[in-house]
C-alpha cells in the first residue's frame, strides 16, 4: 500500500510541475513527499470512519494506484483544465476489475477528508483549490460506474469460478494487446485455449469467441492477414451474441473473396443504414471508386475515419484508383493533424493510415535532393514528428518487422532534417530488416548515405540491391560518381533513363549537370543535343538547363544579364530553382545581381548551397558588404559544415582588420580538422606571436620542429616568430632546411642575414677535420665543400684529410691516370657556417639568383672603399637626392601632403618624418592655417581622433608643460607602426654607423653606443603615452573600402593609417584632429580640425606658451599674435631660441596664412618694440624694415598697404618720432620688395 501511494504521489507531482508548481515548491520531491503524507493520512482517517473489508479478492477503490492518482489529480487540477483520463482508468480496471464500486456518498466523504488535510498543510494550501461541488463528484462516480458496468458485461454471464479465472486472463491479454505486446498476448491466449479445450463444458461460447477474437486482433496487428480473417470469422460463428463480431466477419469474408460477405452485409444494413464497412465495400466494388465516393456516399459516412481508412487501405492492394485522386475524394483534410501523445492498439491503425496518406502526398510532390537536404517546412516537420511517434511505438512493441517500413521512413527523414550521430546506423539497420526493400527505399538510404557518409558507400548499397535499377537509382549512382569516376559513357547512360524533365527531377538534373559541365566530361554541343531529345513539362525548365550549360561552359562570352533576368522572372514561383539562377549570375560575373537575388530569399539560419554561393559572391565582389561577409563566415564556421576555403577567406579579412585573436580561434579550428595543414599552422603560430602567448608557442615547438613546410614564406614567418621569442635553435633549423635548396633565393637571403644577427656560436669553425663537419677543399685550384660522414669515409680526399688541421695540404693520385692532385684544407665548418659560405660564394657568381651583389674593392684603404661605393651607388644616390629635394619643395608649397612626403622621402616612417621636419636640419613643418579649418566644427562633447601629425605634438606638449587631455581615439595601426619601428631598431642594434653619398664623397655617420637603446626607449615611452591617452581600435567598417586595395597590393601602411583615421572620424560625434592635409587632398574628408585649434580652445591660458613652442618646433602656418611676435623677438638671442623669431616672420610672410587681422597684429607688435627702451631707433628701423618685407610679401594685393599705413598712423600718433621711423621703414621695405 505504501509503495502504491508513493507512486501515485510522484505521478501527481510530475504533472503539477509541468503546470507551473515550481513557483510554489522547491522541487518535485518536496511536493511529492508532502502529497504522500496528506494522501496517507486521508486514507487512514477514511478507513477508520468508513471501514470496508476485502471480500473474495475485491478491494476498496483507494487501494488502486490509478484511481487514486486520477481522482486526486482531477481534484487538485480540475480548475487548471485537467480531465479524468478514462483511457487510463479503463486500462487499470480491465487489468484488475476486482475493485468494489464506490458509492457517490463514499466519494464525497473521501474528498471532504482530503480537502481538510490539504488546507491544513502549510505549502499545499497555496494550491488554491476551488470548492468541489457534488456535481463534479457525481461526474467521477458516473464515469467509474460506466467503466465497471462495461467490464461486467464484456463477457457473458459467469459460469462458475473457472470461467472467472479465464475471464481475468483474457482481460489481462486484452490489456497486453492494447499495449501492442501482441506476441506475449498471443502466447498467453494459446495457453488459455489449450486449457479451455480440456474444460469446454465449464466455459461459455461467448468466452471462447472472445478468446478467438483476441487472437484475430493479434494476427491482424502482426501482419498475418489470412489468419486474422479466419479467426474473426470463427469468433463470429461461435458467439451467441454475433452482433459483436459481424462487422469484422463481413470485411474478412470480403477480403477472402467469399460471397458470404453479402449475407452479413445485408444483416448489418438492416439495423445500420450508414455503416462504414458496408459503404466501403460498396465503393470498392464500384466501377469508379472516386465517382462513387463523390456522388453516392452520404456525407455522414464520408466523415467517418473508419470508412476512409478501409477504402484507402484496400485500394493500396487492389490499385483500382490513383492514390492522390482518391485521397482528394476522401476529403482527408478533415482528419486531425494533432500528433497523438501515445500509440496503442486503439489508435495504431488510424495513425498508420494518416502516415500513409501524409507520405504519399509528400513524396508525390517533393523532389528528393541529391545535394543538400529537405527543407524544414511545416509538412516535412509534421511527417517527421508523426513517423517518430509511430516508429518509437513500433520499436518498443511486439509488432514485428512488418511495420519496419514506418521505422525506415522515420530514420530517413531524421537523416534529412535532424540528423543525429546514430541516425545513419539506425537507418542501415532498419533497411536490412525490411523483407524486400524496393528501389525507392534503396534510393532513399543510398542518397542519405552519400550525403552523410560517402559516395562510395552509397554506390555499394545500390550495387547490392537485388531488384531492378530504375531511373532514380541510376541517377543517384551516376551522381555519386561525379567526384572522380564520371565518364562520358556514364553521363549518356544517366540521360537514357530520363524521358521527361518535370517538377520531380528538375533539381537533380540541374545539380547533376553542374560538375559534368565544369569538368568538361561531355562537350557543350553534346549536352545541348541530349537536352533537345528530352521532353520537358515546362519550356522554362529547358531554358534554365540551357542557361546552366552556357554559364558553366568554359567560354569567354558572357551571357547578357537581361537573359538571366528573364528566366529568373519566369521562375519566381519556383523557389527550389533559385539556386541555379543565382549560380548563373555568379558564373557570368554578375556578382552584384547574384548578391541582390540571393538576399531576396536566402535563409542565413540554415546551411545550404545558396548560402555558400552567397558567401562566395560577397567574396568575389570585393566592394560589396564585407562586414556582412565576415559575419556569415563566422556563422558558417560555428554552425555548419567544415569548409577550409571559407576559413582562409575569413582569415584574410581578419588580417586586414589586424584581428589576431579571432585569427587564432579560426586557425586553431582549422587545425582541429586538418592537423597538418600548412596554412592554418602558419597562421596559428603567427597569431600566438601577435597575441603575445609565448607559453602556448613553447608547447608547439615539438610540432614546429617536425613540420615540413612546402612554402618558403610560411617557413620564414614561423622562423621569425621563433626568433622574436628567442627560440633560435628551432628557427635556424627551419630556415636552413629551406635555404639548402639553391633555387630558393628568398630562404638563402634570410639565412645569410642570420650571420649578422645570430650569436657567433651558431656558425662554428673548427681547426681539425672530423666526422660530421663540413670541409672546404682547394683541389688543384678548384673549390669543393664535402660533408664528412660515415658513408663517405672511403673517399680518398676524405680519408686522407681526417684528423688534419686547417691549411694543411696533401696529395692524392688519380686512379686512372695516376696523376697526383694537390689538396688544401681551407675551412672546417658546421653545417650553418658551410651554408653561409656557399651562399656567399653564390653571391659572387655571375649566374647567381640572389638579389644581392658583392662589391669589389680595388684597394682596402679609405680612397679605395670610397671609390667602390661611389662607383656602385653614387649615380643612384644623386638621383634619389634630386627627387627628395623636389618632394620637399612640393611639400612647402602645399603640392604634396605630410603623408605623401612620409612615403616619398622617409619610407613610410611617420615618427622619423615628424622629428626631422621639426628639427634644425629642415625648413620647418608646414600645416594648414586656421582660416581653412571649418569654424562650424565643434569640439565640445566630441570624441577626438588623432594621428601622428597631431599626436606627436600633443605628446611633446604634455612633456613640456604637463598638459592633461581627455582620452583621444586612435587606430590600432598607429601602435603597430610604432611596434615596427621598435622592431627595426632592435634589428639594427649592432649597426655602428651609416653612410651617405654626396657629390663624390662618402660621408660616414657614427652612432653613439647608446643610440639604439635610447631610440628604443623613446619609442616605448611614446607608445605608452598613446596607450594611456587613447582608446585604440581598428575600424571594421573600413573593410568595404580597403579590401580591393589590399587585394591589388595598393594598400601601403601609410594609406591604411589614413583610411583608418577617416573611418573613425566618420562615426557620429567623432572629429579628426590632424595637421596633415592628406585627408582633404587625397580622401576629400573635411570633418577635421588642426592641433592649433584644439590647443588654443582647450588651453586658452597657455595659448602663447603653446604658440611659442610650435614656433620653436618650426611650425609654419600657425596664427600668431603680437605678444608671441614680441616675445620671440626679445628671446631670439637666447641659446636654442635663435630660430624662433625667424619662424615667426615665416608665418607672417606665408601668403596662405594671410588675414587682414595680421596687419593689426603687426602694428601692435611694432608699437611694443618701439616702446622698448633697450632697442635703439637705428635697430628699430632696421628690424621694422625686415619685418615689413615679410608682412608685405604675404599680401594678396598691395591695396592692403593703405590699411597698413592707416593702422600705423592710428597706433603711433602719440609717439611721433617712431611714427616717422615706422613710415620710413615701410618705404624702405616697399622699395626692397619692389626691386625684387
Q: Does some domain include residue 935?
A: yes
pLDDT of residue 133: 53
Question: Could you tell me if 1030 and 1064 are in contact, meaning their C-beta atoms sit under 8 angstroms apart?
Answer: no
pLDDT: which is higher, 879 or 1171: 1171
State the total domains in the chain: 4
904 lies in the same domain as 962: yes
938 lies in the same domain as 1087: yes
Q: Does some domain include residue 225?
A: no
3-state percent breakdown (helix, strand, coil) of the chain, nearest 5: 65, 5, 30
C-alpha to C-alpha distance for 353 and 332, rounded to whole angstroms? 10
Task: Identify the residue whose cell numbers are 612615403.
Answer: 903
Cell numbers linked to 734: 627551419
948 lies in the same domain as 1080: yes
pLDDT of residue 657: 92
1144 lies in the same domain as 1078: no
pLDDT of residue 701: 95
Query: Under DSSP, is residue 947 helix (H, G, I), strand (E, B) or coil?
Result: coil
1015 lies in the same domain as 1142: no
Could you tell me which of 1105, 1106, 1104, 1102 has the C-alpha nearest to residue 1090?
1106
| Burial classification of residue 52, based on how many CB atoms lie within 10 Å of its CB (0-12 exposed, 13-18 middle, 19 or more buried) | middle
C-alpha to C-alpha distance for 1101 and 441, rounded to whole angstroms? 89
1128 lies in the same domain as 1082: no
**E-assigned strand segments in 246-331:** none
1124 lies in the same domain as 1007: no
| Cα atoms found within 13 Å of the Cα of residue 273, Cβ hemisphere only | 3
Q: How confident is the model at residue 156 (pLDDT cuts 50, 70, 90)?
A: very low
pLDDT in tens, 978-988: 999 998 888 77
Task: Identify the residue whose cell numbers are 672603399.
Answer: 865
C-alpha to C-alpha distance for 1147 and 835, rounded to whole angstroms? 60
φ/ψ of 470, rounded to 5, equals -105, -175
Strand partners, 945: 969, 1072
Q: How confident is the model at residue 157 (pLDDT cuts 50, 70, 90)?
A: very low
Residue 160 has pLDDT above 50, yes or no: no
**What average pLDDT does the segment 248-272 reach?**
91
955 lies in the same domain as 1093: yes
- Mean pLDDT lowest for which of 25-29, 609-613, 1078-1082, 1210-1214? 25-29
**What average pLDDT does the segment 808-834 reach?**
88
- Looking at 101, 122, 153, which one is the last position of a domain? 153
C-alpha to C-alpha distance for 704 and 709, rounded to whole angstroms? 9
- Looking at 89, 122, 153, which one is the last position of a domain? 153
Q: Does some domain include residue 1141?
A: yes
Q: Does some domain include residue 357?
A: no
pLDDT in tens, 1087-1110: 999 999 999 999 999 999 999 999
pLDDT of residue 571: 95
Q: Does some domain include residue 399?
A: no
- Mean pLDDT lowest for which of 1-15, 916-930, 1104-1118? 1-15
Q: How confident is the model at residue 153 (pLDDT cuts 50, 70, 90)?
A: very low
Question: Could you tell me if 306 and 276 are in contact, meaning their C-beta atoms sit under 8 angstroms apart?
Answer: yes
1096 lies in the same domain as 1195: no
pLDDT of residue 162: 61
**What average pLDDT does the segment 852-881 reach?**
73
Q: Does some domain include residue 565?
A: no
Could you tell me which of 640, 642, 592, 600 has the C-alpha nearest to residue 617?
592
According to the per-residue pLDDT averaged within each range, which of 213-217, 865-869, 1025-1029 is highest?
Answer: 1025-1029
pLDDT: which is higher, 106 or 781: 781
Q: Does some domain include residue 297?
A: no
Question: Could you tell me if 380 and 367 are in contact, meaning their C-beta atoms sit under 8 angstroms apart?
Answer: no
Could you tell me which of 679, 690, 684, 647 has the C-alpha nearest to residue 664?
684
Domain that holds residue 937: 878-1101
Cell numbers linked to 879: 638621383
pLDDT in tens, 483-509: 656 677 878 877 887 889 988 888 888
Could you tell me which of 315, 256, 240, 250 has the C-alpha nearest to residue 276?
250
1021 lies in the same domain as 1161: no
Q: Rounded to whole angstroms, what are the CA distances from 511 to 478, 527, 580, 700?
A: 12, 14, 8, 43
C-alpha to C-alpha distance for 633 and 648, rounded to whole angstroms? 10
Q: What single DSSP character describes residue 420?
A: -
pLDDT of residue 154: 42
pLDDT of residue 58: 73
Return the sign of the alpha-carbon dihedral for residues 407, 408, 413, 416: positive
Q: Does some domain include residue 1211?
A: yes
pLDDT of residue 448: 92
pLDDT: which is higher, 256 or 1046: 256
1068 lies in the same domain as 978: yes
941 lies in the same domain as 1039: yes
- Looking at 1066, 1101, 1136, which one is the last position of a domain? 1101
pLDDT of residue 56: 66
- Mean pLDDT lowest for which of 68-77, 332-341, 518-527, 1098-1107? 68-77
Cell numbers linked to 1041: 573600402
The b-or-e profile of 434-456 (16+ CB within 10 A means b, else e) is beebebebbbbbbbbbbbbeebe
**What average pLDDT does the segment 341-349 reach?**
88
C-alpha to C-alpha distance for 313 and 281, rounded to whole angstroms? 12
pLDDT in tens, 385-394: 999 999 999 8
Residue 152 has pLDDT above 70, yes or no: no
Amino acid at each position: 500500500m505504501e509503495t502504491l501511494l508513493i507512486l501515485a504521489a510522484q505521478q501527481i507531482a510530475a504533472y503539477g510541475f509541468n503546470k507551473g508548481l515550481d513557483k510554489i515548491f522547491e522541487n518535485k520531491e518536496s511536493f511529492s513527499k508532502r502529497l504522500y503524507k496528506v494522501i496517507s493520512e486521508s486514507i487512514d482517517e477514511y478507513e477508520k470512519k468508513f471501514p470496508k473489508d476485502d471480500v473474495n479478492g475485491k478491494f476498496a477503490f483507494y487501494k488502486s494506484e490509478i484511481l487514486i492518482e486520477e481522482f486526486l489529480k482531477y481534484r487538485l487540477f480540475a480548475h487548471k483544465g485537467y480531465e479524468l483520463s478514462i483511457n487510463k482508468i479503463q486500462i487499470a480496471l480491465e487489468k484488475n476489475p476486482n475493485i468494489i464500486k464506490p458509492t457517490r456518498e463514499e466519494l464525497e466523504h473521501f474528498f471532504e477528508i482530503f480537502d481538510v488535510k490539504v488546507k491544513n498543510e502549510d505549502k499545499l494550501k497555496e494550491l488554491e483549490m476551488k470548492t468541489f461541488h457534488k456535481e463534479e463528484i457525481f461526474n467521477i462516480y458516473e464515469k467509474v460506474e460506466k467503466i465497471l458496468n462495461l467490464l461486467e458485461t464484456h463477457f457473458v454471464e459467469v459460469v462458475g469460478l473457472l470461467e472467472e479465472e479465464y475471464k481475468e486472463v483474457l482481460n489481462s491479454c486484452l490489456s497486453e494487446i492494447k499495449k501492442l505486446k501482441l506476441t506475449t498476448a498471443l502466447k498467453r491466449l494459446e495457453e488459455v485455449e489449450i486449457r479451455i479445450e480440456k474444460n469446454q463444458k465449464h466455459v461459455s461460447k461467448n468466452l471462447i469467441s472472445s478468446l478467438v477474437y483476441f487472437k484475430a486482433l493479434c494476427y491482424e496487428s502482426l501482419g498475418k492477414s489470412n489468419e486474422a480473417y479466419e479467426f474473426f470469422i470463427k469468433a463470429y460463428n461461435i458467439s451467441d451474441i454475433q452482433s459483436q463480431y459481424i462487422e469484422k466477419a463481413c470485411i474478412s469474408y470480403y477480403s477472402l473473396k467469399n460471397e458470404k460477405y453479402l449475407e452479413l452485409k445485408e444483416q448489418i444494413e438492416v439495423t445500420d443504414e450508414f455503416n462504414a464497412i458496408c459503404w466501403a465495400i460498396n465503393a470498392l466494388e464500384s466501377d469508379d471508386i472516386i465517382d462513387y465516393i463523390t456522388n453516392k456516399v452520404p456525407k455522414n459516412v464520408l466523415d467517418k475515419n473508419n470508412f476512409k481508412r478501409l477504402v484507402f487501405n484496400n485500394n493500396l492492394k487492389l490499385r483500382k484508383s490513383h492514390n492522390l485522386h482518391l485521397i482528394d475524394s476522401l476529403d482527408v483534410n478533415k482528419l486531425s493533424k494533432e500528433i497523438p501523445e501515445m500509440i496503442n492498439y486503439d489508435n495504431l491503425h488510424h495513425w498508420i493510415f494518416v502516415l500513409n496518406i501524409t507520405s504519399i502526398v509528400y513524396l508525390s510532390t517533393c523532389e528528393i535532393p541529391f545535394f543538400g537536404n529537405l527543407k524544414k517546412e511545416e509538412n516535412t516537420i509534421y511527417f517527421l514528428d508523426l513517423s517518430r511517434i509511430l516508429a518509437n511505438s513500433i520499436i518498443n512493441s511486439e509488432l514485428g518487422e512488418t511495420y519496419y517500413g514506418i521505422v525506415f521512413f522515420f530514420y530517413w527523414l531524421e537523416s534529412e532534417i535532424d540528423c543525429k550521430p546514430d541516425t545513419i546506423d539506425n537507418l542501415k539497420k532498419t533497411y536490412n530488416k525490411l523483407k524486400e526493400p524496393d528501389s525507392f527505399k534503396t534510393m532513399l538510404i543510398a542518397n542519405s548515405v552519400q550525403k552523410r557518409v560517402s559516395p562510395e558507400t552509397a554506390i555499394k548499397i545500390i550495387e547490392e540491391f537485388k531488384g531492378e535499377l530504375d531511373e532514380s537509382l541510376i541517377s543517384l549512382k551516376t551522381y555519386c560518381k561525379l567526384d572522380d569516376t564520371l565518364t562520358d559513357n556514364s553521363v549518356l547512360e544517366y540521360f537514357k533513363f530520363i524521358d521527361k524533365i518535370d517538377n520531380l527531377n528538375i533539381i537533380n538534373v540541374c545539380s547533376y549537370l553542374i560538375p559534368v559541365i565544369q569538368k568538361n566530361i561531355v562537350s557543350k554541343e553534346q549536352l545541348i543535343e541530349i537536352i533537345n531529345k528530352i521532353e520537358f513539362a515546362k519550356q522554362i525548365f529547358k531554358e534554365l538547363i540551357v542557361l546552366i550549360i552556357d554559364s558553366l561552359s568554359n567560354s569567354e562570352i558572357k551571357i547578357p544579364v537581361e537573359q538571366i533576368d528573364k528566366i529568373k522572372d519566369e521562375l519566381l514561383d519556383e523557389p527550389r530553382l533559385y539556386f541555379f539562377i543565382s549560380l548563373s549570375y555568379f558564373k557570368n560575373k554578375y556578382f552584384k545581381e547574384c548578391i541582390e537575388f540571393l538576399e531576396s530569399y536566402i535563409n542565413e539560419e540554415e546551411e545550404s548551397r545558396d548560402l555558400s554561393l552567397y558567401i562566395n559572391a560577397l567574396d568575389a565582389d570585393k566592394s560589396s558588404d564585407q562586414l556582412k561577409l565576415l559575419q556569415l563566415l563566422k556563422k558558417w564556421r560555428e554552425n555548419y559544415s567544415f569548409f577550409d576555403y571559407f576559413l582562409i577567406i575569413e582569415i584574410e579579412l581578419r588580417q586586414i582588420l589586424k584581428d589576431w585573436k579571432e585569427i587564432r580561434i579560426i586557425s586553431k579550428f582549422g587545425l582541429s580538422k586538418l592537423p597538418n595543414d600548412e596554412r592554418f599552422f602558419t597562421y596559428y603560430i603567427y597569431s600566438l606571436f601577435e597575441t603575445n602567448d609565448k607559453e602556448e608557442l613553447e608547447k608547439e615547438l615539438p610540432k614546429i620542429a617536425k613540420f615540413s613546410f612546402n612554402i618558403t614564406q610560411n617557413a620564414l614567418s614561423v622562423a621569425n616568430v621563433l626568433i622574436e621569442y628567442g627560440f633560435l635553435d628551432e628557427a635556424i633549423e627551419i630556415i636552413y632546411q629551406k635555404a639548402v635548396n639553391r633555387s630558393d633565393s628568398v630562404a638563402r637571403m634570410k639565412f645569410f642575414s642570420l650571420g649578422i644577427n645570430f650569436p657567433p656560436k651558431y656558425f662554428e669553425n673548427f681547426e681539425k677535420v672530423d666526422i660530421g663537419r663540413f670541409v672546404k677543399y682547394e683541389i688543384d685550384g678548384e673549390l669543393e665543400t664535402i660533408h664528412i660522414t660515415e658513408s663517405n669515409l672511403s673517399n680518398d680526399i676524405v680519408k686522407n684529410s681526417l684528423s688534419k688541421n686547417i691549411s694543411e695540404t696533401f696529395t692524392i693520385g688519380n686512379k686512372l691516370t695516376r696523376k697526383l692532385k694537390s689538396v688544401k684544407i681551407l675551412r672546417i665548418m658546421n653545417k650553418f657556417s658551410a651554408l653561409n659560405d656557399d651562399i656567399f660564394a653564390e653571391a659572387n657568381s655571375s649566374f647567381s639568383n640572389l638579389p644581392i651583389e658583392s662589391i669589389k674593392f680595388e684597394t682596402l684603404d679609405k680612397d679605395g672603399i670610397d671609390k667602390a661605393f661611389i662607383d656602385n651607388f653614387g649615380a643612384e644616390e644623386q638621383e634619389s637626392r634630386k627627387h627628395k629635394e623636389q618632394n620637399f619643395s612640393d611639400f612647402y608649397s602645399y603640392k604634396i601632403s605630410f603623408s605623401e612626403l612620409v612615403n616619398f622621402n622617409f619610407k613610410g616612417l611617420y615618427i622619423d618624418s615628424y622629428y626631422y621636419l621639426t628639427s634644425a636640419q629642415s625648413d620647418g613643418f608646414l600645416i594648414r592655417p586656421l582660416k581653412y579649418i571649418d569654424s562650424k566644427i565643434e569640439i565640445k562633447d566630441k570624441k577626438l581622433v588623432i594621428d601622428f601629425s597631431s599626436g606627436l605634438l600633443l605628446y611633446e606638449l604634455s612633456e613640456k608643460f604637463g598638459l592633461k587631455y581627455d582620452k583621444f581615439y586612435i587606430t590600432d595601426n598607429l601602435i603597430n607602426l610604432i611596434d615596427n619601428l621598435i622592431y627595426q631598431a632592435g634589428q639594427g642594434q649592432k649597426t655602428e654607423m651609416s653612410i651617405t653619398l654626396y657629390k663624390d664623397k662618402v660621408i660616414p655617420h657614427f652612432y653613439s653606443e647608446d643610440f639604439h637603446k635610447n631610440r628604443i626607449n623613446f619609442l616605448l615611452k611614446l607608445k605608452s603615452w598613446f596607450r594611456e591617452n587613447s582608446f585604440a581600435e581598428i575600424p571594421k567598417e573600413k573593410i568595404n573600402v580597403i579590401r580591393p586595395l589590399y587585394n591589388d597590393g595598393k594598400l601601403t601602411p601609410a594609406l591604411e593609417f589614413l583610411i583608418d583615421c577617416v573611418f573613425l572620424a566618420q562615426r557620429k560625434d567623432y572629429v579628426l584632429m590632424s595637421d596633415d592635409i592628406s585627408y582633404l587632398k587625397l580622401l576629400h574628408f573635411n570633418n577635421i580640425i588642426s592641433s592649433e585649434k584644439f590647443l588654443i580652445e582647450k588651453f586658452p591660458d597657455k595659448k602663447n606658451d603653446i604658440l611659442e613652442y610650435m614656433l620653436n618646433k618650426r611650425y609654419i602656418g600657425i596664427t600668431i599674435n603680437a605678444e608671441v611676435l614680441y616675445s620671440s623677438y626679445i628671446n631670439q638671442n637666447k641659446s636654442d631660441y635663435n630660430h624662433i623669431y625667424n619662424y615667426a616672420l615665416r608665418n607672417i610672410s606665408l601668403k596662405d596664412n594671410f588675414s587682414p587681422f595680421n596687419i593689426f597684429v603687426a602694428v601692435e607688435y611694432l608699437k611694443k618694440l618701439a616702446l622698448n627702451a633697450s632697442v635703439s631707433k637705428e635697430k628699430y628701423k632696421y628690424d621694422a624694415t625686415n619685418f615689413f618685407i615679410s608682412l608685405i610679401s604675404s599680401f594678396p594685393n598691395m591695396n592692403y598697404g593703405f590699411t597698413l599705413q592707416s593702422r600705423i598712423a592710428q597706433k603711433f600718433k602719440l609717439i611721433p618720432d617712431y611714427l616717422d621711423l615706422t613710415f620710413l621703414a615701410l618705404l624702405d621695405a616697399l622699395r626692397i620688395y619692389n626691386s625684387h
